[in-house]
Structure 1
Amino acid sequence: MMSVPSATVFARRAFSYLMNDQAELALRDAMQAQVCIPDWSTAFYLQALALSKLGMETDAQDMLNDGEAFEAKRSNSWHG
């Protein structure tokens, strides 16, 4: 039986792709990380970096805003 990669595997590989100037592959894996954990801000931030490297600044900014919103929501739920 084949195992399914976790969100952290996709995120780490996306980061590795980013460090090796492979933004398209990084974006693909960052999107897969988000599929695994839809409200994980790290997935949004990795997508933002990849989109920025691809010259898609507006989309990158949208991803940053979404990631920040999820972080704020999570932070508020922790603090009551």
Structure 2
Amino acid sequence: MVEKNVVIGVDPGLQARPAAQFVQKANSYSSEIFIEKDQKRINAKSIMGLMSLALTKGNEIRLIIDGPDDQEALDDLANFVEGRE
């Protein structure tokens, strides 16, 4: 299991198209992937769960990933969220 706090750098945040792209990336990994914000944890492979967090640029979230490709997923998804991709 790997975890990392990241600050959202994608403009305007993980809403609409960026959220759909994030979920598509998350679903390409076999690991379980979760996002935590303000003590709320959602399955990052669910567009509805992700949208329920209303994540905007500058918010800090915690990525929690557990599975056979967890480090690869963490690196890829953290880069996407931080806007480095």
- Fold-level match, TM-score > 0.5? no
The structure whose Rg is larger is 1
- Greater relative contact order (CA < 8 Å, ≥ 6 in sequence): 2
TM-score, scaled relative to structure 1 = 0.31
TM-score, scaled relative to structure 2 = 0.30
**Greater strand share, structure number:** 2
**Greater helix share, structure number:** 1
